[in-house]
Amino acid sequence: MYNPLKTVDLNKENPVILGIETSCDETAAAVIRGRKILSDEIASSASIQALYGGVVPEIASRAHTDYVAQVVENAVKKAGITYDDIDAVAVTYGAGLLGALLVGVSFAKAFAYALNKPLIAVNHIRGHLAAAYLDCPLLKPPFITLLSSGGHTAILHTKTESEFEILGATLDDAAGEAFDKVARVLGLQYPGGPNIERVAKDGQPVIAMPKMLKGGGGYNFSYSGLKTAVINYCHTKQQKNEPYSKADVAASFQCAAIDVLVEKTVAAAMEKGVKCVTAGGGVAANTYLRESLKAACEQRGLRLVLPEKRYCTDNAAMIAAEGLTQYRLGNFAPMTLTAKASIPLAATLETVQSRAARKENE
Ligand code: KG4
Ligand code: ZN
């Protein structure tokens, strides 16, 4: 009989959490003890996806099915623990590609059931926000978080480990999405972000880019105008048969896309009187962003906690880190848990469930 909550100790100082992440093209599993990473495994189908210029959902799902059991086993082995040592299994249940998520959720449910361990449903975005705790285990809110991934761009005021206020978000495309689309126009392979960064190293930000949403947009962002301007610039040059420097385009786009992120993040910290800034999501792996944010924080006397690059892009250690927060709150998931392609930015399973229950009662 599955009844893990009978024996769970919510006050255990450093619970061991197994994290599983399969929301996109990375099959990842990690083990943490408290906020210490014991192991962190990733198998990626990105090189196969690159052949198609982006993530093909069916290929991602099939790759997860092929890899997930081995990746979890490796993570447990490398952590130097036994299955019995695991206190809870945390899995990304949304947002992401439905078929891809389903593989992780189904595996985590079966795994938790077989071992009679509590199951925790993790919002992928909350995982990105929690990555900062792995970099700095003593980190305590409040802080301002810059979230910048392939699907989201937002500035959040993190008030406690589980409460966030969204100060602003993108009104259209996410920053990462803009990097990916611009990369495609420049003939660079998926994923676009790292390739734009590589090519931009040989260029200068000399091409005029449209003004990004500045003060008028509050802490909101808009990337569609910038993306369209770059696409138009390249197409016009191509139609006129005029040569242009891809490196300069990449550098100019990178500066425009990132300067606004840094500016608004620091402004939010100053306005809210918060002394610490963190960042998460794939775009936070960008070296120009990391250096600019570091310089801007230093200039204003703000402390910056920036997860290592590999913990900015998708990984399972961050899912386990958010799992730890939910563990401490006793927010466990039922065996009826299912994957969700879209959930509100900072929602937990609990908030999604109570909203659904409210709707049913209406
Ligand atoms: O957080 P993430 O790994 O997955 C999502 O949750 O979306 O973010 C992926 C996004 C992609 O759009 C990718 O191009 C971008 O992050 N990215 C970067 C860099 N590395 C990944 N963007 C700019 N510079 C990078 N070095
Ligand atoms: Zn992500």
| Residue 56 structure tokens | 């093909």
**Domain shared by 297 and 326, yes or no:** no
Residue of minimum CA distance from atom 18 in ligand 1:
193
At residue 216, the pLDDT reads: 62
| Residue 119 structure tokens | 């199951």
Report the chain's mean pLDDT, rounded to a whole number: 95
List pLDDT tens digits, range 247-258. 999 999 999 999
List pLDDT tens digits, range 96-119. 999 999 999 999 999 999 999 999
Confidence of residue 350 (pLDDT cuts 50, 70, 90): confident
**Residue whose CB lies within 8 A of the most ligand 1 atoms, among 22, 25, 42, 149, for a mutation test:** 149
- Check whether the bond before 269 is cis (ω within 30° of 0): no
Residue of 314 and 44 predicted with greater confidence? 314
Over range 316-335, report the average pLDDT.
Answer: 97
Residue of minimum CA distance from atom 23 in ligand 1:
193
Over range 50-59, report the average pLDDT.
Answer: 86
| Helix axis angle, 246-272 to 175-185, nearest 10° | 170
Domain of residue 269: give its range. Answer: 141-311
At residue 356, the pLDDT reads: 76
Measure 141 CA to ligand 2 centroid, in angstroms: 22
Confidence of residue 213 (pLDDT cuts 50, 70, 90): confident
**Domain shared by 146 and 280, yes or no:** yes
List pLDDT tens digits, range 25-50. 999 999 999 999 999 999 988 888 88
**Domain shared by 289 and 238, yes or no:** yes
Is residue 171 domain-resident? Answer: yes
At residue 295, the pLDDT reads: 98
Confidence of residue 191 (pLDDT cuts 50, 70, 90): confident
Asked if 26 and 314 count as a contact pair (C-beta separation under 8 A), the reply is yes
pTM: 0.96
Which one-letter amino acid corresponds to residue 112? A
pLDDT reading at 18 higher than 70: yes
Q: How far lies 334's CA from each of 19, 89, 114, 156, in Å?
A: 17, 12, 14, 29
pLDDT reading at 215 higher than 70: no
pLDDT reading at 343 higher than 80: yes
Measure 177 CA to ligand 1 centroid, in angstroms: 8
At residue 1, the pLDDT reads: 86
Over range 312-331, report the average pLDDT.
Answer: 97
**Domain shared by 299 and 318, yes or no:** no
pLDDT reading at 222 higher than 90: yes
Q: Which atom, in ligand 1's list, is nearest to the CA of 96? A: 6
pLDDT reading at 232 higher than 90: yes
**Domain shared by 236 and 97, yes or no:** no
Q: What is the DSSP letter of 283?
A: G
**Domain shared by 77 and 117, yes or no:** yes
**Domain shared by 207 and 160, yes or no:** yes
Is residue 135 domain-resident? Answer: no
For residue 284, give the CATH number of its domain: 3.30.420.40
DSSP per residue, 2-70: --GGGT--TT-SS-EEEEEE-SSSEEEEEEEETTEEEEEEEEE-HHHHHTTTS--HHHHHHHHHHHHHH
10 Å CB burial of residue 184 (0-12, 13-18, 19+) is middle
At residue 334, the pLDDT reads: 95
Where does a domain end: 311, 326, 352?
Answer: 311
pLDDT reading at 354 higher than 80: no
Measure 28 CA to ligand 2 centroid, in angstroms: 12
**Domain shared by 283 and 325, yes or no:** no
**Domain shared by 282 and 342, yes or no:** no
Query: CA–CA separation, 153 vs 132, rounded Å?
Result: 17
Over range 139-161, report the average pLDDT.
Answer: 97
Share of the chain above pLDDT 90, in %: 88
**Domain shared by 159 and 301, yes or no:** yes
At residue 241, the pLDDT reads: 95
pLDDT reading at 195 higher than 80: yes
DSSP per residue, 315-357: -SHHHHHHHHHHHHHT-PPPTT----S---TT--HHHHHHHHH
Q: Is the CB of 313 under 6 A from ligand 1?
A: yes
**Domain shared by 287 and 326, yes or no:** no
How many domains does the structure of the chain reveal? Answer: 2
**Domain shared by 323 and 307, yes or no:** no
